[in-house]
Chains A and B, each alone.
Chain A
Amino acid sequence: GEDVEQSLFLSVREGDSSVINCTYTDSSSTYLYWYKQEPGAGLQLLTYIFSNMDMKQDQRLTVLLNKKDKHLSLRIADTQTGDSAIYFCAERRGSGTYKYIFGTGTRLKVLA
């Protein structure tokens, strides 16, 4: 099917690490993305990973990609209250297309 799946909620304490998981469906997806959406705001691209990579690190963010299991994760180190938001993973299907399929989103709540 077309579904990109994410768990709905995650709650962590400030200063801890957060890990948000995503399972995608298309093994030919070329790029995988993580977006952040804060209340009343548009989606903001956080990071992306090309399908031939296993890991990408960008400051507090670490993306892990397991192509065999079609599993993507986003780790946020030293999570802050400002990280509270909804996080979406998205896959770009195949090559030659710019159709993006988004997951249902994970709502991250950071407790002070």
Chain B
Amino acid sequence: DTGVSQDPRHKITKRGQNVTFRCDPISEHNRLYWYRQTLGQGPEFLTYFQNEAQLEKSRLLSDRFSAERPKGSFSTLEIQRTEQGDSAMYLCASSFIPGTSGTDTQYFGPGTRLTVL
């Protein structure tokens, strides 16, 4: 088990460009989460998937943001028309929970640091 991986680790882009990040969860984890973390703050929830279904989205996730998990394994987070305010660390986490209730231990990836110039 290699843990949660994210790619790229760093991304620098110009304002207005589109970017896409990838998260590979721990194999057989059925839940996958995306968070955004800015300097001096805790992670902010963006969205989560159970298998391939996107079950909840934060209102932080504007229409410029889209996330997919097409086969219930890896996930992508795309930001269109990036703005300087999008600069942050984007964190992915995965967990496994049988059924629909109970606690889930989230394992976090190292994050993708986005800088929008």
Contact = CB atoms under 8 A, between A and B. Distances in A.
Interface string A95-108: 10111111111000
12 contacts: A43-B43, A43-B93, A45-B106, A48-B103, A88-B43, A90-B42, A92-B103, A100-B33, A100-B43, A100-B106, A102-B35, A105-B41
A98 B55 CA distance: 9
Contacts of A88: 42-43
Given A98-B31, A99-B56, A41 B110 contact: yes
Chain B's interface size range is 20 to 34
Contacts of A98: 31, 33, 48, 55-56, 104
Contacts of B42: 4, 88, 90, 102-105
Interface of B: 4, 31, 33, 35, 40-45, 48, 55-56, 58, 91, 93, 101, 103-111
A44 interface: yes
Interface string A39-68: 011111100101000000000000000000
Contacts of B40: 104-105
Contacts of B107: 45
Contacts of A42: 4, 91, 108-111
A100 B109 CA distance: 16
Interface of A: 4, 31, 40-45, 48, 50, 88, 90, 92, 95, 97-105
Contacts of A41: 110
A43 B56 contact: no
A31 B41 contact: no
Contacts of B91: 42-43
Nearest to A35: B108
Nearest to A93: B45
